[in-house]
């Protein structure tokens, strides 16, 4: 079969002999039905070597082929815009659900600036393993995962962790006298040598008054050295002060229960999808 891809434009088909190895002769029928106007041309050696216009009444010449339905650039652009739109809608919908859950959890009014880490927190929470959620995905065993696990067991009370894996919630400060404390959450499992990367900070005043919590939109950023200090201080405080640890456990349990209730429909929706 012939296989020649042609761009849009005018072309001609020619039949003859004496070229391309063809040596035969034939006559072309002239009794076919007219379907429209067509322009014919011919080469007639007796007249000239130049091409001449010809009358093609009843002559049937035809071309067969396949039209390549390749979208034009504008069509490609529309398709890409459609894909991006679908992805953006899905992303926005998921974030809106998560953000509303966070707002409901914290009882805060919607703000335009408070979404970045809050959304990150909840969306990561959905993906992270929750010990109380049998549907959660268990991290694959690896050297890195073992390293993380050892770090958690050594430096953190597991009760302080909402989940194993990012994000973790830890007790930042606990003041048994006033029962004010802060809970920071973030990625404590960053890199081969884990260090605390704060993503958000909740300050509770008058435990367990969650509705009165203050949301710090600009959590402190620690250097590695500061992280080591914070981690050590935190570890020491939890080891040496059971009262503080109990406060922290109770707070975390409350956060976990609230978040579990709020996030369960999201989880079910996520599992359904």
Binding segment toward another protein, per CB under 8 A, in 80-88, 128-136, 225-233, 247-255:
80-88
Binding segment toward another protein, per CB under 8 A, in 41-49, 156-164, 190-198, 205-213:
41-49
Binding segment toward another protein, per CB under 8 A, in 79-87, 171-179, 195-203, 236-244:
79-87
220, 67 in Cβ contact below 8 A?
Answer: no
73 binds another protein (CB under 8 A): no
What is the rounded distance in angstroms from the CA atom of residue 202 to the CA atom of residue 197? Answer: 15
16 binds another protein (CB under 8 A): yes
196: its two tokens: 């605390």
Backbone angles phi and psi of 105, in degrees to 5: -65, -40
Query: Nearest distance from residue 86's CB to another protein, in Å?
Result: 7
15 binds another protein (CB under 8 A): yes
Task: Write the CA distances from 76 to 71, 86, 90, 208, integer angstroms.
Answer: 6, 15, 21, 56
Q: Which residue lies nearer to another protein by CB, 6 or 243?
A: 6
Helix or strand or coil: residue 153? helix
176, 244 in Cβ contact below 8 A?
Answer: yes
Binding segment toward another protein, per CB under 8 A, in 21-29, 178-186, 246-254, 257-265:
21-29
Q: Which residue lies nearer to another protein by CB, 4 or 243?
A: 4
Q: Is 18 left (phi over 0), alpha (psi -120 to 50) or beta?
A: left
Binding-site ranges for another protein (CB under 8 A): 1-35, 38-46, 49-54, 56, 58-71, 83, 86-87, 90, 273
């Amino acid at each position: 079969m012939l296989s020649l891809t042609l761009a849009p434009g005018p072309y001609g088909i020619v039949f003859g002999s004496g070229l391309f190895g063809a040596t035969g002769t034939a006559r072309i029928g002239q009794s076919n039905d007219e379907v429209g106007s067509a322009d014919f041309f011919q080469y007639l050696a007796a007249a000239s070597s130049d091409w001449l216009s010809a009358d093609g009444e009843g002559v049937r010449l035809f071309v067969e082929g396949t039209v390549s339905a390749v979208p034009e650039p504008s069509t490609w652009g529309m398709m890409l815009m459609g894909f991006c739109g679908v992805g953006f809608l899905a992303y926005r919908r998921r974030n809106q659900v998560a953000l509303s859950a966070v707002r409901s959890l914290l009882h805060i009014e919607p703000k335009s600036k408070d979404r970045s880490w809050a959304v990150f927190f909840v969306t990561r929470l959905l993906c992270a393993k929750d010990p109380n959620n049998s549907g959660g995905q268990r991290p694959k065993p690896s050297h890195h995962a073992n390293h993380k696990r050892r770090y958690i067991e050594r430096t953190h009370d597991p009760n302080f962790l909402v989940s194993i894996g990012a994000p973790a919630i830890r007790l930042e400060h606990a003041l048994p006298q006033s029962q004010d404390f802060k809970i920071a959450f973030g990625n404590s499992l960053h890199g081969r040598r884990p260090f605390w990367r704060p993503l958000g900070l909740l300050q509770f005043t008058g435990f367990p008054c969650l509705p009165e919590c203050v949301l710090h939109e600009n959590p402190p950023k620690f250097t590695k050295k500061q992280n080591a200090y914070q981690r050590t201080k935190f570890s020491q405080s939890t080891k040496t002060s059971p009262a503080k640890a109990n406060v922290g456990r109770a707070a975390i349990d409350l956060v976990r229960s609230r978040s579990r209730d709020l996030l369960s429909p999201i989880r079910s929706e996520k599992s359904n999808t």
